[in-house]
Structure 1
Amino acid sequence: MKAIILSLLMIQSAFPCTIFSLYPNEEHWVGRTFDWAYGHGLVYTNKRNVTKTSVRILPTDVLSTWTSKYGSVTFNQFGREFPTGGMNERGLIVEALELKSSIYQPVDAKASFNELQFIQYVLDNFQTIGEIRGALKGLRLAPVGSQLHYFTCDINECMTIEFINGKIETRHGNTLPISGLANNTYDESKDYAKEFVTFGGDKPVVQGSKESLDRFVRSNYNVKSINEYDDKIQTLFTFLADVGSLNNRWQIIYNQSQRTINFRTTAKIKLQRMIDVSALDFSCQTPVKYFDLDSDSEGPIRHEFKDFDFNVNQSVIKKSVDMQKLPAALTMRLAVYPNETKCND
């Protein structure tokens, strides 16, 4: 299909969010806020052993074909296969946050991915930070418009992926002493944190501020006390609410060790949902499943998932496209993409 040349942004002003990792009781957890103009969306199960070719949107896109190794659960506002984040069955997490200073790689012959399909590609193919680092050398990001950076964690360590002056830069291991991210570069955030107590300085942590640097410091300061609390889930929801902006829409808690996802939307803040990823069927011989974030279900929602519905998927995409006044052709291009994938079971 011919490329769709967009004069507008696919996601015009993206994700002023906060994310952090923590290790209560020697387990690996990640918490994140999703802050955006609207909170509708679908949670999808994505199947293993499915062959996919990256979608062409820009005329300079270089297509790549792969077969998914791992199933995953993702949160999607632009339809199936184009998530804002999620976790695969091996416990790997990938999440996107806004970074307005991002400068991506120049066009070359490397395989390219738009900023959302990149997330699905990583979840489909990798289980460790080391594997992702190796793959980054052979691809480039071809964003439709969003300026993002990424936070990804396997069950042992985390890594940031940023685009600085046209190059991919990562921080992990010893170069990631504070395991979190907001909406400044990681290095800017780390250097700012040095001024505050527990991070090398003597300034008290700034309470109440919704500025990116302050959210980065406060969220990582708060989680240091997690083992003082018996109810880890409720405590983390409190921490996430503390750093959420006025446009906070989702609060997501991943337990990578147990392969569970707890989440709530601020539109229905009293409804807390839980997904046991290890209990899901990721065989591509069975239907892809979805859960509507606007539903009234709560608690474990495994049995609340429904079979993939083209019309529901298209409706969510259209809602996002229309609200952002994007070209109408984009709705159908994204909606038909799942039909181009092939199950190999």
Structure 2
Amino acid sequence: MPHWRQICLNQPVTRKILLLSIFFPLSAGPAPACTTFLIPQSREKVMGKNYDWTHNDGMLVVNKKNLKKTALAAKPAQWVSRYGSVTFNQHGRELPLGGINEAGLAVEVMWLDDSSHPPAGQVPQVNELQWIQYQLDNYSSAAELAANADKIVVAKVFAPVHYLACDKTGECASIEYISRKLRVRVGKDLFVNTMANDTYNSSTAFLRNFKGFGGDRDIPSGEDSLSRFVRASSLAKNYVQQNPAEEYAFGILQSVHQTDPEKATQWSIVYSLAAGHVAFRSQGDYKLQTLAISAFDYSCSQPVKTLELNQGWSGDVSGNFIPYTRALNRKVVERGLKDTGAELPPELIDEIAAYPESAICLENPPLNLSYKVSVDESFVEGL
């Protein structure tokens, strides 16, 4: 793995290079084993996610709309956020691992070793975590996200991943980069609304061997990706409406949770998409925490709010959010790096901690430019 000084050797020490170089050591971490699913027949359109990693520190962030942003990439996408959102962040603000926006669209990421990204060409870039924030900022449904998925490309600097996005109508989209090509499935193109850590094609091919999906094999009990995919898909399919959907979803998450210390389940998250409600638990402290998306002010003229995770909260935590600070962001970034064994100088950590402050609040963004995606570096100044 290249040292940060090698990455920057003989290159101008620009802000962009510093921000990109900070992420390279992260890919040295253990391959996690996340699982995500939707229960489409539930009234609440419940979506569940297990985040499997090495630690559960991080923060929830209330992200604002009408913010003019430039991505952390060599050919950065530039846009103005249309929707506010609440996200789970472990590597800094603007770099979420998942979340839900005020329109009822949720996006989650999972590790995928088979992921391979195409060259960017002239397509605007985002890194694989900011891709999540971009989607939550811009789209209100899985179909809309899928229709625009080729407008940007992921520039991999963190890890090989794929995504599941679901909305309040119960429609989902899977997004993968396979053999350097974008692969998008949406709505009826999905056999099940589940993803783990194998490609969607290989996972569904395996699933068809089991009872309830065309095969005669019993549902497996292992912790490997394909077994978790089958188990989550089967349990989601067998949900009946008279059961509390949120509680049932947590039962599925418990069924597919990981125990390996290097990739243990750290967060179990349930989104009730139709209701705009989030419930979650952290490893080692299983108190249920909840919040309503409607509880927050998404106007960019008001301070960004955050909630540090792993602090022993319980119940409705909407009122526990405090104004965002660069100091907390730096703490979160440092903790995320430390766990991967990365040794970076303080000035690099300062850069990523300060990055969110580059976004500009627009009180009345011009409608013809607000949601443009561009690689023109004069775009931000020209708005």
Asked if these proteins are the same fold (TM beyond 0.5), I'd say yes
Residues 1:14 and 1:332: Cα distance change in structure 2 (over 3 Å):
farther
The alignment status of 1:119 with 2:136, answered yes or no, reads: no
Alignment-derived partner of residue 97 in structure 1: 110
Alignment-derived partner of residue 296 in structure 1: 312
The alignment status of 1:250 with 2:304, answered yes or no, reads: no
User: Per-residue deviation at 1:170?
Assistant: 1.0
User: Per-residue deviation at 1:25?
Assistant: 4.2
Alignment-derived partner of residue 380 in structure 2: none
Q: Please, what is the CA RMSD of the aligned residues?
A: 1.6
What is the letter of the counterpart of residue 127 of structure 2?
Answer: N
Structure 2's unaligned 5+ residue stretches are: 1-14, 364-383
Distance 1:2 1:297 in 2: 37
What is the letter of the counterpart of residue 336 of structure 1?
Answer: A
The alignment status of 1:309 with 2:325, answered yes or no, reads: yes
Distance 1:159 1:133 in 2: 6
Alignment-derived partner of residue 200 in structure 1: 214
Residues 1:235 and 1:288: Cα distance change in structure 2 (over 3 Å):
same
Q: 1:59-208 residue pairs with structure 2 within 5 A?
A: 61-156=74-169, 157-207=171-221
Are 1:150 and 1:162, in contact at CA under 8 Å, matched by a contact in 2?
yes
| Secondary structure of the structure 1 residue equivalent to 2:118 | coil
Are 2:146 and 2:173, in contact at CA under 8 Å, matched by a contact in 1?
no
Are 2:16 and 2:72, in contact at CA under 8 Å, matched by a contact in 1?
no
Alignment-derived partner of residue 264 in structure 1: 281
Alignment-derived partner of residue 366 in structure 2: none
Moved more, 164-173 or 12-21: 12-21
Are 1:321 and 1:331, in contact at CA under 8 Å, matched by a contact in 2?
no
Moved more, 117-126 or 170-179: 170-179
What is the letter of the counterpart of residue 155 of structure 1?
Answer: K
Are 1:15 and 1:96, in contact at CA under 8 Å, matched by a contact in 2?
no
| Secondary structure of the structure 2 residue equivalent to 1:170 | strand
Distance 1:80 1:179 in 2: 28
Q: Which has the larger radius of gyration?
A: 2
Alignment-derived partner of residue 65 in structure 2: 48
User: Per-residue deviation at 1:14?
Assistant: 4.7
Distance 1:236 1:180 in 2: 13
Are 1:69 and 1:124, in contact at CA under 8 Å, matched by a contact in 2?
yes
Alignment-derived partner of residue 254 in structure 2: 241
Deviation by residue 1:122-149 (Cα, 9 ceiling, x = unmatched): 1000112232223222221101030000
Residues 1:2 and 1:302: Cα distance change in structure 2 (over 3 Å):
closer
User: Per-residue deviation at 1:21?
Assistant: 0.3
Deviation by residue 1:255-294 (Cα, 9 ceiling, x = unmatched): 010000000101201x101110022111111111111111
Distance 1:145 1:68 in 2: 23
Given candidates 49, 52, 66, the residue that maps to 1:32 is 49
Moved more, 3-12 or 120-129: 3-12
The alignment status of 1:273 with 2:289, answered yes or no, reads: yes
Residues 1:228 and 1:137: Cα distance change in structure 2 (over 3 Å):
closer
What is the letter of the counterpart of residue 161 of structure 1?
Answer: I
Distance 2:187 2:40 in 1: 15
Distance 1:312 1:132 in 2: 31
What is the letter of the counterpart of residue 216 of structure 2?
Answer: D
Moved more, 133-142 or 75-84: 133-142
Distance 1:72 1:288 in 2: 11
User: Per-residue deviation at 1:229?
Assistant: 5.5
Deviation by residue 1:147-173 (Cα, 9 ceiling, x = unmatched): 000001122310110011101001222
The alignment status of 1:22 with 2:39, answered yes or no, reads: yes
Distance 2:166 2:17 in 1: 33
| Secondary structure of the structure 1 residue equivalent to 2:87 | strand
Residues 1:195 and 1:330: Cα distance change in structure 2 (over 3 Å):
farther
Moved more, 327-336 or 173-182: 327-336
| Secondary structure of the structure 1 residue equivalent to 2:284 | helix
The alignment status of 1:318 with 2:334, answered yes or no, reads: yes
Residues 1:54 and 1:228: Cα distance change in structure 2 (over 3 Å):
closer
Are 2:107 and 2:136, in contact at CA under 8 Å, matched by a contact in 1?
yes
Distance 1:72 1:252 in 2: 15
Alignment-derived partner of residue 372 in structure 2: none
Are 1:14 and 1:97, in contact at CA under 8 Å, matched by a contact in 2?
no
Are 2:47 and 2:249, in contact at CA under 8 Å, matched by a contact in 1?
no
Distance 2:42 2:142 in 1: 22
Given candidates 213, 216, 227, the residue that maps to 2:240 is 227
| Secondary structure of the structure 1 residue equivalent to 2:26 | coil
Alignment-derived partner of residue 339 in structure 1: 357
Are 2:42 and 2:241, in contact at CA under 8 Å, matched by a contact in 1?
no
